[in-house]
Amino acid sequence: MNEAAATTAKTLRNELWRSIPSGVIDTLTATFGMLIAVRVFHMGDVAKSVFLSATSGGMVASLFVVPLLLRAQSTVARTAAKVQLLGGLCMAVSAAFPSSPLLYIGGLSLGLFCFTMQIPLMTQIYRINYPAEKRGKLYAITGVTRAAAAVCFGFAGGKLLGWNIGNYVWLLWAFAASGIVSGFWTYGLPVIAWEAPANSSTSLWNSMRWVREDRDFRTLLISWMMMGIGNLAAACLFVEYLANPSHGINLSEFNVAWITGVVPVLARVVFSYPWGLVYDRFHLFTVRAVLNVFFAAGILCFFLGHSLFWWTFGMALWGMANAGGNVTWALWVTKLADKHAVAEYMSVHTFLTGVRGLVAPSLAFAMIKVMSFDTFAIVCGVTILSASGFIGVRARSNSESTDRLRPGARKERL
């Protein structure tokens, strides 16, 4: 086995093991964090918005991770691992003081902040350690494991809370342990020294230059902003809609966990690998546009259905779209950027994702105060579909620039 193949194999092995604790943490952001906030602490909109904005805050901060790494002359994998370990320790604070609403929100929010802050570093690792022709497939394989872990933990966690809501303390310790284990497996990834050009700027805003210089990058960022606002606003209210008695539904803890936490992740298990193959074989603009249609359909079915069947079916559609969305969200910059500019491209992408994520929770709660959930769903769906129309214009061009996004016509730049 040559060195490149050995690096790919070791990266895949470690990422498969890391996907298990990552799947557990996924249930915190998707279901249990909000469910505990509503049912245990009876938190208001401000506190819930703080929690929902934690991952977005980390994404905003990610813009500054790359220049700081340049200054530190560190390695990508070990830097990412240390940030993940810190996130696990922050979550342990919440578990150690489970009766404090402030420490619950603070510890979990800081933990999620850390985990999202290091995303550009992981994307840089995938760009260097995974070959281009099967990068989507390899990422999807770990995505299936991650989703399966989330399904199992979501089911078990829902049962625990159904038996006794006080069992949420065990969930908090599971989240903290998962953060630490994730950092352990990341630390063992093949060490990647930072190899940015010698004239690279260490300005904290230097990565933003790619928005000006790369038209395709700029086009996709605008489209992703349009789609993301609608999708994130809707996702913020999935648990709220089913669990808060003030909305007239008030399902049991297990049913809320099953519908919002298990069903969409089961769909991810089934569809992650096929979407990985699609990512490798089709034009990026086409994949993104199709995914938007499925996201919009899932949201409309969920909020307009008004029955257990439609809530479940909507979450299944949304989960199917999320399977492909996870692959494209994490890897699309690898089709655009030079080898050692991937982390910079990704830091801009995550920064803007974080900006809309910070806006989305407050926007969502404000919208349902002035409109029905039906109207809310239609607004979100139209916003998401508009994003597909926006990139459709660019996708029809036959420029050399867009050719780099076509499988077979693309040669990765060194």
Q: Is the pLDDT of residue 119 over 70?
A: yes
What does the pLDDT look like over 23-48, one tens digit per residue?
A: 999 988 877 888 888 888 888 878 88
Q: Is the pLDDT of residue 166 over 50?
A: yes
- Which of 267, 259, 261 shows the shortest CA–CA distance to 323? 267
**What is the tally of helices (H) and strands (E) in the chain?**
20, 0
The residues near 388 (Cβ < 8 Å, ≥ 6 apart) are 223, 227, 288, 289, 290, 292, 293
Q: What is the mean pLDDT of residues 116-120?
A: 87
pLDDT of residue 384: 92
Residue 193 in 3-state DSSP?
A: strand
Instruction: For residue 336, report the phi and psi dihedrals to the nearest 5 degrees.
Output: -105, -40
Q: Which of 197-211, 228-242, 397-411 has the lowest mean pLDDT?
A: 397-411
Residue 306 in 3-state DSSP?
A: coil
Q: Is the pLDDT of residue 131 over 70?
A: yes
* Residue 143 pLDDT level (bands cut at 50, 70, 90): confident
Percent of the chain with pLDDT over 90: 29
List domains and CATH numbers for the chain. 3-195+204-403 (1.20.1250.20)
Residue 105 token pair:
């929100």
* Residue 394 pLDDT level (bands cut at 50, 70, 90): low
- Judge whether 130 and 8 are in contact, CB under 8 Å: yes
Residue owning tokens 């999320």: 322
Residue 109 token pair:
């929010």
Instruction: Of 20-24, 49-53, 217-221, 322-326, give the range with the top mean pLDDT.
Output: 20-24
Q: Is the pLDDT of residue 202 over 80?
A: no
pLDDT of residue 296: 94
- Which of 107, 43, 25, 24 shows the shortest CA–CA distance to 243? 43
Average pLDDT, the chain: 84
- Judge whether 333 and 221 are in contact, CB under 8 Å: no
pLDDT of residue 15: 93
Residue 247 in 3-state DSSP?
A: helix
Residue owning tokens 């949304």: 318
pTM attached to this predicted model: 0.79
Report how far residue 350's alpha carbon sits from residue 329's, in angstroms, rounded to the nearest whole number. Answer: 9
100 sits in the region (left: phi over 0; alpha: psi -120 to 50; else beta) called beta
pLDDT of residue 318: 95
Bridge partners, residue 75, by sequence: 193
Which amino acid, 349? H
